[in-house]
Structure 1
Amino acid sequence: MPVGVIGLGDIAQKAYLPVLTALPGLDLRLMTRDRAKLDRIGDTHRIDPVHRFTDLGALIGSGIRAAFVHAATDQHVPIVEQLLTAGVDVYVDKPLDYTLDGSRRLVELADRTGRSLMVGFNRRYAPGYVQAKERPRDLILLQKNREGLAEAPRPMIFDDFIHVVDLLRFLVPGEIEHVDVRSRSRAGLLEHLVLTLAGDGFTALGVMNRVSGSTEEVLEVSGADSKRSVVNLAEVIDHRGQPTVRRRGDWVPVARQRGIEQIVLAFLDAVRAGKTIDAHDALRTHELCEQIVQRVAEQA
């Protein structure tokens, strides 16, 4: 199956190409405007030179059925529009766009063209988080912290905090009835952010501190007198009296631990089966991110 990979930055090189090049039955075609990078990465992964492109139209004209878009976010809308219009199923890194209008345009276009549009929310497929969804979840706490990375609100929320928003939406056990946002900014840069989502019988807290002194991601779900923690997607700790710890096996690939292998397979399986992946649920995550941006602006 002919599949395009558009944009060859760090996320493509570190996370996606190692998975895609190991899968049988794929005829990969690479596209970036940087010819030197294209040839270097093409040589590394033994991609036939005739399947290396610097022009999107030429890549589409080569007959690809699906594409993975890892280009810069501000290029997502024009690239994905051209792909969908040409009848190509699309997997695109989050976010769809930095604006809600741009995100909606892509989802509506996917609807009109009848093509799949899948957003790269890989944490929904990470084994530790999938297993956490099987536990009682009266209270959910997710912290995703960084060191020395205060940033302007919109790119921080749509590039990074969007993972927190989407994972909480994935894990909550019911309809969200209440949204609260608390933030702190200095000199126009967002330092920390706390999101509360609540509904009948549950509360979910998402915390990001960009000046925490530590890079970490910790999930805790609790209820029915039990708790499960997932630390950096690799360590699962069950608390019911004496805690028990399970760690990622030495030979488990990082891409599988982080859900990237699984989400890639889910997308490709859908393409092969002719099943359309609907992006409306992903759009709801973008809508909530836009709401958070507006609340932060009010508190600045």
Structure 2
Amino acid sequence: MIVVEGLRKKFGEKWALDGLDLTVGRGTVHGVLGPNGAGKTTAVRVMATLLTPDAGQVEVAGLDVLRRQREVRSRIGLLGQHAALDEELSGRQNLEMFGRLYHLGARRARERADALLERFELADTGRKAVKQYSGGMRRRLDLAASLITEPEVLFLDEPTTGLDPRGRTEVWNAVRSLVGGGTTVLLTTQYLEEADQLADRISVIDKGRAIAEGTADQLKSRTGGDRIDVVLHDAGRLTEAAALIGHRAGTADVTTDPDRRLVSAPVADRMAALSAVVRALEETGIEAEDVAVRRPTLDEVFLHLTGDPSDRADDTAATTAQEVSV
């Protein structure tokens, strides 16, 4: 549904995209993660026909975005980082306005507004001014507006930035509903949990190119797989416990954190290792406050793959001057 090959885009002396490759399957959510300045927003704007690349090929819904821009725009929806709503108008009026802008005609615009308000559970508040909406309601309305033409492909550029947990969950549920209906979604996000919750596959990009791709589990396995963490009651037995846990887990790669009274070790068979370690601690009289087997988080994957973020600049600032002329 989306194919990107060798995509390059330069702003001044900076390559925002430097050979990006990306493939998104039909009817899936594809997450794009990366530090500030990685090129996420620039890539979305190229795919949505808002920026012209310096090199590379991009197809969306089977169409070349450079040669068939008008057709591409008729098949996509875009939800940017900032809401594109008129706060003085009601939710219904906003949706009808977007419908008219897309030349749907008055009757069809009203029908689409009614259907989308119902779909996103906003029918009861459709006559209220948007300025009276909560953050989550505004974002759901913004998402509804991006679907006014029933697009095949939807681009979500950091859709839950600034929302509280409740608002974020509301948007997540809406996205799951869309994909269940067959929509293809490309999602950029800074929230690692968001990608973990929503994405079928994830691409990690850095310095304008993809450096890793796979399912969340596949990416997590790149940081070493499962680990067993044991928090001791007595930090004085940390060294003894580390040796014991390493032996029972079958590894010499054991780390300790005296301040947290923590012993951590990688494991191949999570349940067998958990049982063996708990039994060994009981036999030797080493008291543990907590024992848990955990998988690496996407946060750990992200930091492992992209390194120190201190020297990075936000790619949004890099694109601002260009966007003005688009």
TM-score band w.r.t. shorter chain: under 0.3
Which one has a bigger Cα radius of gyration? Answer: 2
Structure scoring higher RCO (CA < 8 A, sep ≥ 6) equals: 2
When normalised by structure 1's length, the TM-score is: 0.24
When normalised by structure 2's length, the TM-score is: 0.23
